Homo-oligomer: A and B are copies of this chain.
């Protein structure tokens, strides 16, 4: 795994840490405690709701922001003021919007020229988002009053 470790730019991980804390705090009035980021080696994490945003340009890959259903519903309620169920279109839009803001704010901080795709939102009990074997994946664990979430950064710099 040595070559993967070398490819990871700590500035990018720090930018996602800051961005996650800021977006949750300012947009959803939710404080989160960030755990120690670690390298994901196996596709063993399972979640109920994930927002995925792709990156292209000097940095390529994706960021995946994953939650349990309960956590995502609470967070969306804090963000929108409404108690949507996970099958609502508004719920998916809200998760997508939060994911988009986390990706966009991080991009502003790390300063590379990159495009970000429109978010995709996965709804499905106990799904996993597989990492591609040629892209390192750093997991940023986050704890909030509503439960745990994870920000998985699957990117490599090509600029």
CB-based contact B43/A130 at 8 Å: no
Determine chain A's interface SS by DSSP, over half rule.
strand
Query: Which residues of B are found within 8 Å of A112, using beta-carbon distances?
Result: none
Closest to A97 in B: B132
Query: Which residues of B are found within 8 Å of A93, using beta-carbon distances?
Result: 130, 132-133
Instruction: State the oligomeric state as a number of copies.
Output: 2
Partner of A130, one of B60, B123, B132: B123
CB-based contact B122/A43 at 8 Å: no
Does residue A127 face the partner (Cβ distance < 8 Å to B)? yes
Q: Which of A50, A118, A122 has the most CB of B within 10 A?
A: A118
CB-based contact B118/A129 at 8 Å: no
Partner of A128, one of B52, B122, B154: B122
CB distance from A41 to the nearest CB of B (A): 10
Q: Interface residue count for A (Cβ, 8 Å)?
A: 41
Q: With A54-B54, A116-B56 as known contacts, state yes or no: A130 contacts B121, CB within 8 Å.
A: yes
In the docked arrangement, what's the CA distance between A133 and B91, Å? 11
Q: Which of chain A's residues 30-77 have a Cβ closer than 8 Å to chain B?
A: 42-43, 46, 50, 52-57, 60-62, 64
CB-based contact B118/A61 at 8 Å: yes
Q: With A118-B62, A124-B125 as known contacts, state yes or no: A132 contacts B92, CB within 8 Å.
A: yes
CB-based contact B57/A123 at 8 Å: no
Closest to A100 in B: B132
Binding site for B on A (CB under 8 A): 42-43, 46, 50, 52-57, 60-62, 64, 87, 89, 92-93, 95-96, 115-133, 135, 154
